[in-house]
Structures are given as C-alpha cells and as structure tokens.
Amino acid sequence: MSAQNIVVIGGSAAGPKAAARAKRLDATANVTLLQKAPELSMASCGYPYYIGGEFDERNQLLATPTGVVRDEAFFAAAKGVNAQVNTEVTTIDRDNKTVSCVNTVTGEKDTVPYDKLVLCTGATPRRPPIPGIELDGVRALSEMRDADKLRELRDTGEVKDVVIVGGGLIGIEVCEALAESGMNVNVVEMLSQLLTFLDWEVAKLVEKHVKSKGITVHTENGVSEFLGENGKLTGVKLNDGSVVPCDLVVVSIGVVPNATLAKEAGLEIGDFGGISVDTHMRTSDPSIYAAGDCVEIPNRITGKKAYAPYGDLANLEARVVADNMILGDTAVFPGTVNSGICKVFNLSAGSTGLSEKRAKAEGFEVVTATNASLDKPGFMGAKLLVSKMVADAKTGRILGFQCVGPGEVNRQVAEAAMTVMNGNTIFDIGVADLPYAPPFSLAIDHFITTAHILENKKAGRMAGISNADVKERIDEGTAPFILDVRAPTEFEEMRLNVGETLIPLGTLRNSLDKLPQDKDAEIVTFCKISMRGYEAQRVLEAHGWTNVKVMEGGIMAWPFKVEF
Amino acid sequence: MSAQNIVVIGGSAAGPKAAARAKRLDATANVTLLQKAPELSMASCGYPYYIGGEFDERNQLLATPTGVVRDEAFFAAAKGVNAQVNTEVTTIDRDNKTVSCVNTVTGEKDTVPYDKLVLCTGATPRRPPIPGIELDGVRALSEMRDADKLRELRDTGEVKDVVIVGGGLIGIEVCEALAESGMNVNVVEMLSQLLTFLDWEVAKLVEKHVKSKGITVHTENGVSEFLGENGKLTGVKLNDGSVVPCDLVVVSIGVVPNATLAKEAGLEIGDFGGISVDTHMRTSDPSIYAAGDCVEIPNRITGKKAYAPYGDLANLEARVVADNMILGDTAVFPGTVNSGICKVFNLSAGSTGLSEKRAKAEGFEVVTATNASLDKPGFMGAKLLVSKMVADAKTGRILGFQCVGPGEVNRQVAEAAMTVMNGNTIFDIGVADLPYAPPFSLAIDHFITTAHILENKKAGRMAGISNADVKERIDEGTAPFILDVRAPTEFEEMRLNVGETLIPLGTLRNSLDKLPQDKDAEIVTFCKISMRGYEAQRVLEAHGWTNVKVMEGGIMAWPFKVEF
C-alpha cells in the first residue's frame, strides 16, 4: 500500500491536532495542513488576555510551552506535517478526491489530492445587518489580526469609549480586557441578562459585579444603528432611542459555522448550519471528517444535535478524527454537556449541563437549589461561591450546575461536569468522596452541600423560593412575611430593607409571638446564605406554621440592591 | 408515640452533624450530644494552620462562618440540641438502652436513656512503645489542647529544634506549620518515602520540595529512643544510631479508632479495630449507629473494608446516620475512594483511588502514565503539575490518580475522584467536556491529557519507562542510550547529566546517524515533559528502531538531582 495522503483544512485548534496526531499514528502518511490565515495554532481563547495586557509577548499566543513558535518550519521539523499558511481552499472535488487552493499572498493556485480529508474550517462572528456596520471602528474579535488591532488600541490609548454588542462569554471577556485597558465600556445585550448559560438570577450577580467596575450595562436593548462621520464610527443608537457616543464597537453576538466549502461540496449540513457528522466525526462523505467550530455534535443530555464552538472540544474532536482516519472507526465522540467557565474581573462564572430555563424548555420537570457559601473554611481566607443546581424532579439526576463568585469556581464546575456526564443523581453526590483539606475546600464541599439542599427540597423538607420571586412579590405589593434570622450585627452591616423582620435564629424559639399568628400565613425566612433560614423553617413548622419557605442563597445571593 | 430520645456520643465532626440533622428531621426528638472534650465542633483539620500562624483567632476553629462559637448555648438555641461538654461516656447498657457518663470536671455521674444511639467516638493518635515516649516534649496533634500547646510554642519561640515522627499527611502539615514558625524541622519516616498515598517517584518530588525548604528528611529510619534529661526531652536516637537533638517531638504515625466503648458493649469490631457498620452505618445493634473516625467503611474500588479517618467522610457518614435513624434505613453510605489532598509549602499533593503499588497489591494488572505539564496556558502565569494515572490494563478503568505541583492540583484531584467513583475509563475521560478558559485550565485539561497518554501506552503506541527505572539502570551501570530531544537552550538551563545525548526533536529526522545503528538497541527519549519525547519515539520507530521508550514526565518529573 502506498502512503496515504491526508489533507487537513484549517490550522487553528482542531486542524493542527488532527494533522499532528494522524502523523504520529501513521508515520508513512503524507499529512498536509492548509491554513488560510498567516498564523498557525493560535491560542485564540487567549486573545482577550493579550488585549487586556495580562501578557505582552504576542508570540506567546503562537508558541509551544517551551516558547517555540508553531510556524510552517516547526510543523515540518517537529511534527512531520506539511503546513501551508496563507492558503485558502476554494473547492473540494469529491469525485477526484482533490482540493483546490490559492495562496492569498501570491495568488498561486494549487490542487492537492487526498485519500482522507479533514474539515476544520472554524466559525465566523455573526455580523448583524444593522445600518453603519461597515463604519471604521466597528470590529469583532475572531482572528489574530483582530486581537492585534484591539491590542494596538490599548497601547496607543486613542480609544476612550467603547461599546460591546453582546453580553455573552466573548463579549464579557472583551469587556474586561478593554476596561482594564482604561476604556469606558458599555455593554449592550438584547436579552434581559448577560451570560445566557446562567439562569437570570445568577447572571444578575455577575451583572452587579460588572457594574461595580464602572461598566454600563444595557440589557433588553439592542443597536438600531451605528453612527458615524466620514466613514468613522462616532456612536451607537440603541433600540430605546438613546445614543451612546464611542470610538470603538466590538460586536460579539456569537459565531456561525464556516460550512460553505462543505455545503458547496454537497456534504450534509445540520439545522444550526454546521457540518453534520456521525459519532466518529465522519461527514456524509466517508472519506471526509470534520471537527471544531464548523461541526454540530450531540448534546449528551438531550441527545439532540447542538452547536458547541468551544476550543477544548475542537481539540478532543480532532483527536477522535485522527484515530478514526488512521485506525478505522475505533473512537467515538459522545458530544457536549456545554461546560464553560470565564473570568469576569474578580469573579469566575461557570456552568455545565442545562440551566433551569433550558431544562424546562427541553421538557424536563425539574427541582433546583441555590447555595451560597464560602469555598473553604473562613480561617483560610475563604471566598464566596453562589451556585444553582438543576435536577430531574423524578429521579434526582443532576441536569445542570452553575456557579459564580470570587471563590474557587473552577473545581466546582469541573466536579459538576463530571457529574452531568456520568448521569449522577443528587444522592450519588451527597455521599461523594472528594479531596478535602482546609486550604482547598470545606469539609463538606460546596458542590455536595448544594446536592444536600436539593435533596431536602426534593423530599419536601425544605420549601424554597427564589430571590427573584420574592422580589417580584415585593414589587407587586403582595410580599409575604419576610423573616431575617441573622444576628443583629449582621443586620447592621447589610440588609434587604424590604420590610423584613429580624429575629435571630437563636432567639426564634422564644419569639414566636412576633410572627403572624395565622398558622397558614406565608412566611419567607432567610439568613446570610440560608442554612439558618432552613433551620428556622424547620422550627416554625415544628410549631405549626404550614406555609414557610426559605429564600435560597440568603442575602449573599440577592442580586438586587441591598442597604448598608 | 412519645418523642424519641437520640443520644450522640462525640462532639467533633460526625457527632454534631448527626445530632443537628436528626433534630431538623424530627423536631419532636430529644437530641443529646455528649462530648468528652471542653469544646464542640472543632475544625480539627485546621489545627496545623492555626499552629503555623495562618490565622490567630483560636475561636475561628470553633465558630460558624458568621463567627458564632459553637458552644452548648449555641447548640441549644440554634440547633435545638442538648449538648454537654466535659462529659465522658463510660458504659453503654444495651439491654436497658442507657449510657452512663461522668462529668470530667465535677465528677458528677449521670445515666441517659436512648431510643437511638450514635457513636462518633473518633480516633486517637498511635503512640509507639518507644523508650522515653513519656518525656515532657513528646507530643501529638489530635485534640484542641495539642493545637493550643503547639501554637503557644510558636508564639513563645522557645523551641528551636523539632522532630516530626511520621511523614504522612498530618506529619507533613505539622512540619510546614512549625517550619513556618521558624523552627528547625527534622522528619523521620520508617518507609522509603513521605505521603504513602503517592507512589514512590511522585512522593520523591514532594520530598525534594520539602528539603528545599530546609527540612531534614530521614527516610527508611525510625526512632529507637527518645532522649531526655530530668524528664525533659533533649533529642531522639534514630534506628541508624544517629542522634538528633531537639526540644520537641510531634508523633504523627497515624491514628487508631476509639472503639473501646463499642467493644465493651459487645458491638462487632472490624479487622482494623474500627466499629463495624452496614451500608446504613448501623452497628451490629440495630438501635446503635456509628460514624466518623471510629468506624470501618468499604473501599469502593476493592469492595473490602477500609479504615478512612477523613473529616469530610465523617460529616457525610453522620448525615446518612441521621437520615436512617429518623426516616428508616433510606440512605446508604457507599464508602471511600481515599480522596485526599494537602498543602506542602508551595506545592499541593493529592490523590484518589489506588496508587500503582496499592493496585498491584490488590491484584490488579495495571497500566500507568505520568504526565508533567503546566496547569494552564503559559501566558496566564501557569504552574507545573505532575500526575500519575493508574488504570486497569484490560478495561482501561481508572483506578487511581495522584497529582503534585505548585499548580492547580485541587481541580485535577476532584475531577479524578469523580472519575474513580463513577468507574470511568481512560476512553471516557479522553472525550470529557470540562470547563475551559485560559485563566482556569489548558485547552486539553491536564487530567484529560494524562488519560490520552495512558491510552497511547495501553494501545502499545507509546512505550514508557519510569524515571525511577531509568535511574536504577544508570546506577547499575546498564544505562540505555538516553536521548534528550529538547532545545539547546533548555539543555543549557537544566539537564540530567547522566550521559545523555542531545538531539533536538526538530533536527532528529536529519540526525539519525548520531543514534545507535543497531536498530534493536534500547533508546530512552525524554524532553521537558515528554510530549516531544513521544514524538521522538514515533519518529525513531518509523525509521526502524524497535526498542524505544519514553521517560515519562520528562525532566520536570525527574525526582533526582539535576544539573543547572
């Protein structure tokens, strides 16, 4: 058998991984990597940190851990891969098994034969059809040159005011980067919250923090027009009619898969516009595989196809492609549970699985719990975590978990991702043996406590009410009796100031006369994080009250204004 | 039905949890907590950090997150639990369902009736029968008063030299605390390594770090005599005959379960001397439950009974006890996978499941992989992680994982614990969807990469050799051809200096004449972390060499001396 020709289109994340592993698995193969951009193996998730000045060496985005830039020479010498940059593939000829490409610098054309072809064509930022989008100053963050430009704007200091369109993951990362660079930042988001992988009341905690950093956040608002003079951006006009003057706009309202090449070659395309692949990451043509931001993969919880353009998945998918190309279809890619995490100034925010909103939309009957606690013992310099767990109401299977706070969110979401992938229940997690020592976690890890709270709710022992619901009732003028069971000193420091009554838990058993004497009256208890709130509920129920609820997460999870 | 009497013996971790939850589940129950020590709910895992000056307020070890000391009054008011300190239970009368106790301060005796009894009697440090152990200055760290005494010695500064007997978890935590307090610390360990939950070569990395902090570590050595003058400690004599002068000894060679009370009451005791319980945490007497450091629980991997005195498990076991006492036997405690973690100066060290040594002793045929990598992208201020994964050779099921380094060990070991509990294989983990962003992890998480390496080894694609084996061969004078494929600059900075040949990976394909021309000659490749070492192996095999191995973990995992 003569050496097989493997051609990989795309040189960012998935492409290089597929190419390098294919060559390691079959040293005789001729592996060619065709890359449209001038760079290879860009750490594109790192762009916001380069823009924001976390580091200054541009090459760090392109280099191995030992500092060698991954250019064509590197791929040839270290990986045995023939990488060609500035090389755009224009057509795939499936009958003759060739791809046609053109060098975008020299204009030179070429035709490359393949036995196996891998499409890692990535994604492109959405560009909304809004008047003025062509103005100089309206940008996105997708390619290395975008990162270069935004970094240049940081370094020259010529931009004062910036509007970020879109409050998703990339929008928020860019928001932080530019704010840290000294710009005045506005974020405009169509929906009622930032970071839609979080439920509303959790996202509001992030929004509160973002605002505390001097950022102006416009939710439930959109851009109706980009305003300019002489082709240069001067501001944006919002849907509510207001105008925000600015020198720079970064549009980050998501990405769309680059599937045109595949579509033109007659490959099957999915409902999200991504390339359809089977569990082996093989397209509708058995000689062609695909991986990364250009494909659709299954959601492991719903079983439905999803579009999940994450850098980590791109790498894992590409590894599966290489295995299947070289070793036969031995490897399966099971899909995504939508695990994600991001840094938002002093907070981290992460999630995995389904939010409550999403789970309900998918037809699940759910029970949820919110938990606010420190991430480790107070004496170890602990920080706050606020989490929400979503479980199937019948089985207790954990469908999703979200966590925000200045504390150790990273471990929590990683634990939860493992849980969701394994289909564990709240009962499994309630007795999980996790690593514990005071510098690292609480004796009962925050994630486990969240499962315990959910267990209490599912069993009907704890009746919870969300802070959003409490706030709505207050605003409607139908507030229940709200009982703060914290200590007077805590009350002095910070309080809701919504008409609540303070009765510290320790005195509650002797202060029952201060409560509504109608035993069916609705009472909502809370404390700092709502452990004492739950104790209070149990005490009141033991004394005959029948309609007592705990406001979950206590005052620490309250996303609205508090009084100091 | 009249209110039931629940009596809990022991007020440290498991006891208070069982008592408080039982009262929450049944508000009508009379719950009594009998505690021998003067304190309740001590955060005993925090003692080393109090001793070492991480914080100064002793009460933080005894307080709730909002700063309320958990004393008798607190338990009465906030928990509805009748807690009695300084109260030692002397006998259990199972026929009459009573316990006899004595107040250790007043000498007053009492008899308390129970319907359900919970034993949370904890553990006691082992005291070896070594001459001189009664000397003033020979201490342990178990009770609050031990912590008080060691903290006092820190504060007065009167101790200059200390010997820690035992290099396990507590020994190492105390070692750090006292070294940080300015004492000269010697650690004496009978075995050939510290931290026996780690395999030897991983533990050696910790030992190297401990020594770099000025600690003297004596392995494969024991104390034959504590030396003293006028009843006061002056030094220790070691098994090798050497004498280490010191003012203080802390003996930390493990703990034994406090099961005397249970034994005298005729309850079943296990092979480790702990109280036997069923999966509901019920002892051989159906009215008596037990939890915490006094019980034996199953190892979830081997199915055999184990002794696992961890603070986190104590709490979880106690919760199961409360559920079963009040709700009937509804809850099951599945046991331990031996998850643990500790801080060792600037390193963290953690593990879960079985080490290679332990797995082999349990009869498993295993395959292992060592992985050294940064914990996140280099441009994000990344730190090193060195891990070893142990999997079943037939199925690829992950049996254990250990991780040390200055990097984010916490997340890695938590992920691994979830994996081991779920019985996941290296193939499951190879396609895991974990949260990724540059501030938090690598695009392919370190844990996943470790599974990938193991997959390559299991499939026979990568032939590994441990650094310990390489070192042994060098010392024996039968060294293979050792090939360093790093860059010349890296070689200049740090090298093994064991006769290795430097051929950078990028030039390897053109330097094959520098290698042994006998294609069956044994060649061991390595680089910084051994990714390039693996690439080199694949290149050499493609050129006909048949006996090429990769030294796993590269120079970063090399636990012996390196040349700078």
Q: Regarding the domain delimited by A347-458, which CATH topology (the fold level of the hierarchy) does it fall under?
A: Enolase-like; domain 1 (3.30.390)
* A464-557 CATH choice from 3.40.30.10, 2.60.34.10, 3.40.250.10, 3.20.20.70: 3.40.250.10
CB neighbours (10 Å) of residue B237?
17
Beta strands A288-290 and A116-119, pairing class = parallel
A75 token code pair: 């791929």
B390 token code pair: 């142990």
pLDDT 10s digits, A217-255 = 999 999 999 999 999 999 999 999 999 999 999 999 999
Is residue B512 within 8 Å of residue A1, measured between CB atoms?
no
CB neighbours (10 Å) of residue B94?
16
Phi, psi of A341 (to 5 degrees): -155, 150
First vs last Cα of chain A: how many Å apart? 77
Q: In what order do the strands lie in the sheet with A347-353?
A: A340-344, A347-353, A398-405, A384-392, A366-374
Percent helix, strand and coil across chain A, each to the nearest 5: 30, 25, 40
Which residue, chain included where needed, has tokens 């540059």? B438
Given this model, what pLDDT does residue B154 score? 95
Q: pLDDT grade, residue A2 (50/70/90)?
A: confident
pLDDT 10s digits, A309-334 = 999 999 999 999 999 999 998 999 99
Nearest chain A CA: its distance from B378 CA (Å): 6
Question: What is the pTM (predicted TM-score) of this model?
Answer: 0.97
Q: In what order do the strands lie in the sheet with A82-84?
A: A82-84, A30-34, A5-9, A116-119, A288-290
Inter-chain contact B418–A437, Cβ cutoff 8 Å?
no
First vs last Cα of chain B: how many Å apart? 77
Nearest chain A CA: its distance from B150 CA (Å): 18
Helix (H) or strand (E) run with residue B344 in it = strand B340-344
| Cα torsion B54, B58, B61, B65: sign | negative
CATH code assigned to B5-42+58-123+256-327:
3.50.50.60
A1 has pLDDT over 70 = no
Given this model, what pLDDT does residue B1 score? 56
Q: Map out the domains of chain B as residue ranges.
A: 5-42+58-123+256-327, 138-253, 340-458, 464-557
Is residue A380 within 8 Å of residue A438, measured between CB atoms?
yes
Q: CA torsion A539→A541→A547→A549, rounded to 10°?
A: 40
Residue of chain B whose Cα is closest to the Cα of A535 = B24
CATH code assigned to B340-458:
3.50.50.60
* In this structure, CATH architecture of domain A138-253: 3-Layer(bba) Sandwich (3.50)
Find, among B358, B457, B49, the residue nearest to A437 by Cα. Answer: B49
Is residue A142 within 8 Å of residue A124, measured between CB atoms?
yes
In this chain, the answer to whether the domains covering A5-42+60-123+256-327 and A138-253 adopt an identical fold is yes
Chain A neighbors of B74, CB-CB under 8 A: 506
Task: Report A:144-183 residues touching B (Cβ under 8 A).
Answer: 173
Give the separation between CA A138 and CA A132, rounded to whole angstroms: 9
Inter-chain contact B65–A528, Cβ cutoff 8 Å?
yes
Chain A neighbors of B310, CB-CB under 8 A: 433, 436
Given this model, what pLDDT does residue A367 score? 97
Best residue in A41, A312, A462 for a mutation probing chain B (most B CBs within 10 Å): A312
pLDDT 10s digits, A418-427 = 999 999 999 9
* In this structure, CATH architecture of domain A5-42+60-123+256-327: 3-Layer(bba) Sandwich (3.50)
Tell me, yes or no, if B550 comes closer than 8 A to chain A by beta carbon: no
Q: pLDDT grade, residue A529 (50/70/90)?
A: confident
A530 has pLDDT over 90 = no
Residues 6 or more apart in contact with residue A153 via CB below 8 angstroms: A159, A181, A248
Per-residue pLDDT of chain B (564 residues; tens, 9 = 90+): 579 999 999 999 999 999 999 999 999 999 999 999 999 999 999 999 999 999 999 999 999 988 899 999 999 999 999 999 999 999 999 999 999 999 999 999 999 999 999 999 999 999 999 999 999 999 999 999 999 999 999 999 999 999 999 999 999 999 999 999 999 999 999 999 999 999 999 999 999 999 999 999 999 999 999 999 999 999 999 999 999 999 999 999 999 999 999 999 999 999 999 999 999 999 999 999 999 999 999 999 999 999 999 999 999 999 999 999 999 989 999 999 999 999 999 999 999 999 999 999 999 999 999 999 999 999 999 999 999 999 999 999 999 999 999 999 999 999 999 999 999 999 999 999 999 999 999 999 999 999 999 999 999 999 999 999 999 999 999 999 999 999 999 999 999 999 999 999 999 999 999 999 999 999 999 999 878 999 999 999 999 999 999 999 999 999 999 988
